Chain A
Amino acid sequence: MAEYSALALLKNALTGNRDWKPAWCKPEPKPEYDVVVVGGGGHGLATAYYLAREHGITNIAVVEKGWLGSGNVGRNTTIVRSNYMLPANVRFYEHSMKLWENLSHELNYNVMFSQRGILNLAHTPSQADDFIRRGNAMLHDGADAVWLTPAEIAKKVRGLDVSAKARFPIVGGLFQPRAGTARHDAVAWGYARGADRLGVDILENCEVTGFLRDGDRVTGVATVRGEIRAKKVAIAVAGSTGRVMRLAGIDRLPIESHVLQAFVSESLKPFIDTVVTFGAGHLYVSQSDKGGLVFGGDIDGYNSYAQRGNLPVVEEVMSEMASLFPGLAPVRLLRSWGGIMDMSMDGSPIITTGPLPGMFLNSGWCYGGFKATPASGWCFAWTIAKDAPHPLNAAFTLDRFHRGAVIDEKGQGATPRLH
């Protein structure tokens, strides 16, 4: 298996890089596993990894329609944070943050987790009150938060228009110092290699075409590479949740799939060393190690599975960027793309047993799934291994919508396009 020590780098450099071993095997599917995880994205791979690592269940297959990292784990804007307000959310995401802090060490794979902080800008006094309240809630639940004045913000982020004559004057900002970014592909590769070493079979190009059933019970999956039986089937397919669950005969779920676009500018010299979000619209921006500005805004706002969006959102995001950093107006865009978000009805995720016997569901990440990757896999693995949720994900049930126990961080109600 691949090792990336200084010695190995030197040896392979001298021998023409011909001897690198693949980071994970490409096995043939076995006829039966203890657990089949559908979806080889960050969450699916993390689930398999923690099932093997924490619960000793190693007879696992991860089945993936395309190649590893082809979905949202390679399409996000790489932001990691735990700046939520509601207790269920802040505790879950703070657990994720703690796993992030040790992830490179845990996987022995550099995921380039950089705790550069995230700064949520407030543009009105009432927004400032709201952010300070959220900061207090975060502190109360063990996360970190600092309130910054415009003068402190001007020192922290160069090029930002903090003047009173800005179109949306900045009155302050909520800063989470431990937040940051990570190399998203490395997260998929690191978990894949970690899971593979613990005996997990990673089956790429293995699209699920149906479910094997024994009455109500799910007993495996039919795939393009043959039928695979399993004691437990776990679904972690993000934007494809509706399509996959339909194969199991479940037509309606509290989820809509929407498209979110992301953008990268041409490379610039380093000038933003934190993640900045704009509070008068919706924009989040950070600068990658290659110098490109990585940024995004709102989802397009209509149901979509197309992995590409339309121009009105592009125009809106660019205008917000120019409003916040007037000096960036001449910078050119390098590329943009879209990913499919599983928008839930309250903006919070679902990690649960069921909805059918033998099945487990991980979904509803809206457009915040990347930062959740470690905790999502950790909690989902617990739920699968013990047939019951961990206290950290006990609130993220599928039936909460029908029990009046929604976790609606933004208070938008059952309008997924607004979460």
Chain B
Amino acid sequence: MLIPCPYCGPRDVSEFTYQGDANRTRPDPLSTDREVWDGYVYDRLNTAGDHREYWQHSGGCRSHLLVVRSTLTHAIVSAGFARDAATKPKKTRRKAGARP
């Protein structure tokens, strides 16, 4: 399996570290909604087909990548920097310890 790192080009999978399912969104750190956190930590889509997932090119440029890969054939559909796909934190977010 070759992963096309957007910085280094196609490299063998042994250079990369799998960082798991990218279909989950980390809840707001201030959220105390137990169900939302339980779902984030434990529940997975477990897609059979094109799967969004994070990899790190730990044996190369160390970039964090967002890869779309078929779990049925291992064919890579796309690979980009994870930062490009990241959602920006909301501006209304409070600082830890701040009063509401």
Q: List A residues at the B interface (Cβ < 8 Å).
A: 241-243, 251-257, 301-306, 310-312, 315, 345, 401-402, 414-417
Contact A257 B71 (CB under 8 A): yes
Residue of A whose beta carbon sits closest to that of B41: A414
Chain B interface (Cβ within 8 Å of chain A)?
1, 12-14, 18, 20-21, 34-35, 38-39, 41-48, 51, 53, 69, 71-74
A251–B23 CA distance with the chains assembled, in angstroms: 12
Contact A312 B13 (CB under 8 A): yes
Give Cα distance in the complex from A252 to B23, angstroms. 11
Query: In the complex, A232→B47 CA distance in Å?
Result: 26
Q: Given known contacts A304-B74, A305-B72, A310-B13, is B43 in contact with A253 (CB within 8 Å)?
A: yes
Total cross-chain contacts (CB, 8 A): 69
How near does chain A come to B77, taking the closest CB pair, in angstroms?
Answer: 14
Besides A306-B73, A414-B41, 10 more A-B contacts (Cβ < 8 Å) are A242-B46, A252-B44, A256-B21, A303-B53, A311-B14, A312-B13, A402-B35, A402-B38, A402-B42, A417-B20
Cβ contact within 8 Å between A345 and B71? no
Contact between chains at A256 and B38 (CB < 8 Å): no
Contact B51 A303 (CB under 8 A): yes
Q: Is the interface of A mostly helix, strand, loop or mixed?
A: mixed
* B18 A302 Cβ-Cβ under 8 A: yes
Q: Please, could you name 11 A-B residue pairs with CB atoms under 8 Å apart, sorted by A? A: A253-B43, A253-B44, A256-B21, A257-B46, A303-B46, A310-B13, A312-B14, A401-B38, A401-B41, A401-B42, A417-B20
Complex: A242 Cα to B48 Cα, angstroms:
8
Contacts of A241 in B (CB 8 A): 46
Q: Is the interface of B mostly helix, strand, loop or mixed?
A: mixed
Please list the 5 inter-chain residue pairs (A to B) with the smallest Cβ-Cβ separation, ordered nearest first: A242-B46, A252-B43, A312-B14, A401-B42, A254-B42
Distance between Cα atoms of A242 and B44 in the complex (Å): 9
A305 vs B20: C-alpha distance when bound (angstroms): 15
Instruction: Compute how far the CA of A254 lies from the CA of B43 in the bound complex, rounded to whole angstroms.
Output: 4
Q: Which residues of A contact B45 (CB under 8 A)?
A: 242, 251-252
Residues of B contacting A255 with CB < 8 Å? 44, 46
Q: How far is the CA of A372 from the CA of B25 in the complex (A)?
A: 35
For B74, give its contact among A253, A310, A415 (CB under 8 Å). Answer: A310
* Min CB–CB distance A251 → chain B (angstroms): 6
The answer on a CB contact under 8 Å between B20 and A415 is yes
Q: Which residues of B contact A302 (CB under 8 A)?
A: 18, 53, 69
Give every chain A residue within 8 A of B69 (Cβ-Cβ).
Answer: 302
Question: What separation, in Å, do the CA atoms of A153 and B48 have in the docked complex?
Answer: 44
A414 engages B42 (CB within 8 Å): yes
Which chain A residues lie closer than 8 Å to B14 at the CB level? 311-312, 315
B42 near A305 (CB under 8 angstroms)?
A: no
Contact in complex: B48, A243 (CB < 8 Å): yes
Bound-state CA distance A256–B20 (Å) is: 10
> With the chains together, A263 CA to B48 CA distance in Å?
25
Closest to A399 in B: B38
* A345, B48: Cβ atoms closer than 8 Å: no
A374-B76 Cα distance, complex, nearest whole Å: 39
Contact partners of A312 in chain B: CB under 8 A: 12-14
Whole-angstrom distance between the Cβ of B43 and the nearest chain A Cβ: 4
User: A306 touching B72 by the CB < 8 A rule?
Assistant: yes
User: Once bound together, how far apart are the Cα atoms of A287 and B44, in whole Å?
Assistant: 37
Are the C-beta atoms of A310 and B1 separated by less than 8 Å?
Answer: yes
Q: Chain B residues with Cβ under 8 A from A256's Cβ?
A: 21, 44, 46
Instruction: Give min CB distance, A242 to chain B, whole Å.
Output: 4
Which residue of A is nearest B14, CB measured?
A312
Taking a contact as CB atoms under 8 Å apart, the answer to whether B13 and A304 are in contact is no
Q: Tell me which residues across on chain B come within 8 A of A301, comparing CB atoms.
A: 18
| Residues of the A chain whose Cβ atoms lie less than 8 Å from the Cβ of B34 | 402
B44 touches A254 (CB 8 A): yes
Q: Select from chain B the residue with minimum beta-carbon distance to A312.
A: B14
- Closest A residue, CB atoms, query B39: A252
- The distance from the CB of B17 to the nearest CB of chain A, in whole angstroms, is 9
* Residue from B14, B46, B72, B73 having most chain A Cβ neighbours under 10 A: B46
What is the CA–CA distance of A186 and B98 in the complex, to the nearest angstrom?
65
A311 contacts across to B, CB distance below 8 A: 14
Q: Which residues of B contact A414 (CB under 8 A)?
A: 41-42
Q: Cα distance A304–B48 when bound, in Å? A: 8
A417 touches B18 (CB 8 A): yes
B12, B14, B35: most-surrounded residue (chain A CB, <10 A): B14
Q: Is the CB of A253 within 8 A of B46?
A: yes
Please measure, in the bound complex, the distance between the C-alpha atom of A241 and the C-alpha atom of B45, giving whole angstroms. 11
CB-CB under 8 A from B12, the residues of chain A are: 312
Complex CA–CA separation, A252 to B43 (angstroms)? 5
Which residues on A sit within 8 Å (CB–CB) of B53?
A: 302-303
CB-CB < 8 A to A242: which residues of B?
A: 44-48
A415 and B72 CA atoms in complex are apart in Å by: 21
Residues of A within 8 A of B13 (CB): 310, 312
